[in-house]
Chain A
Amino acid sequence: MSEISTESSGGKKGKKKSKKVSTRIDFTPMVDLGFLLITFFMLTTTMIKPQTMEIAMPSKDKVPEEEQTKVKASRAITIILEKNNEVYYYEGTRENDIDPKVNKTDFSASGIREFLIKRNYDVMVKVEELNKEKARTEMKQEEYDKRKNEIIADKKAPIVLIKATNDASYRNLVDILDEMAICNIGRYAIVDITEYDIELLKSVTI
């Protein structure tokens, strides 16, 4: 392999000729070394930074009664996460001694997402228009975020209460938070499940 030339320096007439050594070096070992190091770095690196979901929980400080924001019953949607990835939801609350109708669904695109999109259709359309506008014009990210937040904070948009039973898994929680992002739900909260909800669930599951 090596290419060190073997020029015959057969001395003609005894003239002292300095031996010409080729400057070419065999690079093969260096390439080997290079690729070895590449392999090492490739195996030890994490190229992708993990994704994260930001979540803000309410603080524990007690808010005085008059400052509490009351959720209008017509805007409220309660989603209950059950075992085996089951999702139950109902709209509004108990009114005139009539329990709200509890529906059963799942995490597929035609499940809870379809329902939320239907309820939040006006906001969805507006956000879609904003997305198109962003693609067309060179809108700055800050402006986009600002306008999106304005749309999402719509006064008629639904407010979602997420309640998880003890049988739900962490994945269900992340999935439902994801649906909130997909369906552009501006206001949602993770709330502890109440006795009333458990009773309601029982009436459906049996």
Chain B
Amino acid sequence: MPKVKVQRKSTAIDMTAMCDVAFLLLTFFMLTSNFTQKEPIQVSTPSSISEIKIPETDIMTILVENSGKVFFGLDGQPERKEMLKNMGELYSIEFTEKEYKDFSLINIFGVPIEQMKNFLSLKPSDRDLKENALGIPADSLNNQFKSWVKAARLAEPKARIAIKADQGTPYPVIKNLMNSLQDLNENRYNLITSLEQNPDKLKTSE
């Protein structure tokens, strides 16, 4: 009997198809991506059924940690520079060109204006440290938060305000922010939430 010969097949696979797929996906991700913005603190937003998406540009972000610390950010580098200029005039602090440049690269910050110079002189990696996340004073005695909103409004008149607060934030903190905004006649703003399923409305009533 002749031996059955096992035919040896080459193990090499044609990679072209796989390559096509990989690059197709790559293109997709590159086109749809907007990079995650670095935030000094992590907040977990409360969920709501609202499905309105927030616009990506022209946004003033107010970040509130559950301890009540307030952080502030404005979209766009030239606008940030302009905002710091306005703030500097208000608190009579002179900033150098380098400090303006550094500041315009910071997405969201939370330092009192008196320590801004100090903060900007730090290395970018040190700025995210816990002890540097001081929060912006927002109480009625020293309401720098209000000044920042005003400065941002001057720099970018059509910016929308978005409040991103942790779900455990005590209400007085929010009330204080809302009152500050009300003082500035900023009566329309957005609360950033995460998505939740809309319950079947009438069923629950039966």
Chain A residues within 8 Å of B, Cβ to Cβ: 1-3, 26-28, 30-31, 34-35, 37-38, 41-42, 44-60, 81, 109-110, 113-114, 117-118, 121, 124-125, 128, 164-175, 177-178, 181-183, 190, 192
Contact = CB atoms under 8 A, between A and B. Distances in A.
Given A3-B12, A34-B23, A124-B202, A169 B18 contact: no
B171 A166 contact: yes
Contact of A45 (B36, B51, B53, B188): B36
13 contacts: A31-B18, A47-B32, A50-B164, A50-B193, A54-B188, A55-B189, A57-B178, A125-B202, A128-B201, A169-B167, A170-B166, A171-B167, A174-B48
Given A34-B22, A57-B187, A60-B183, A45 B171 contact: no
B84 interface: no
Interface in B147-173: 162, 164-173
A41 B174 CA distance: 35
B190 A31 contact: no
Contact of B204 (A34, A38, A110): A110
* Chain B interface bracket (under 10, 10 to 19, 20 to 34, 35 or more): 35 or more
B177 to A, nearest CB: 10
B30 interface: yes
B54 A50 contact: yes
A174 B191 contact: yes
Interface of B: 12, 14-16, 18-19, 22-23, 25-26, 29-30, 32-37, 45-54, 56, 64, 162, 164-175, 178, 181-183, 185, 187-196, 198-199, 201-202, 204-205
Contact of A174 (B22, B51, B167, B172): B167
Q: Which 10 A-B pairs have the closest CB atoms?
A: A34-B22, A27-B15, A171-B167, A45-B33, A41-B29, A170-B169, A52-B190, A174-B46, A171-B46, A168-B171
A55 B191 contact: yes
A44 B36 contact: yes
Given A45-B34, A56-B188, A174 B193 contact: yes
A172 B46 CA distance: 9
B182 to A, nearest CB: 5
Contacts of A45: 29, 32-36
Contacts of A170: 46, 64, 165-171, 173-174
A178 B50 CA distance: 8
Q: Among B14, B185, B189, find the residue whose CB has the most chain A CB atoms closer than 10 A.
A: B189
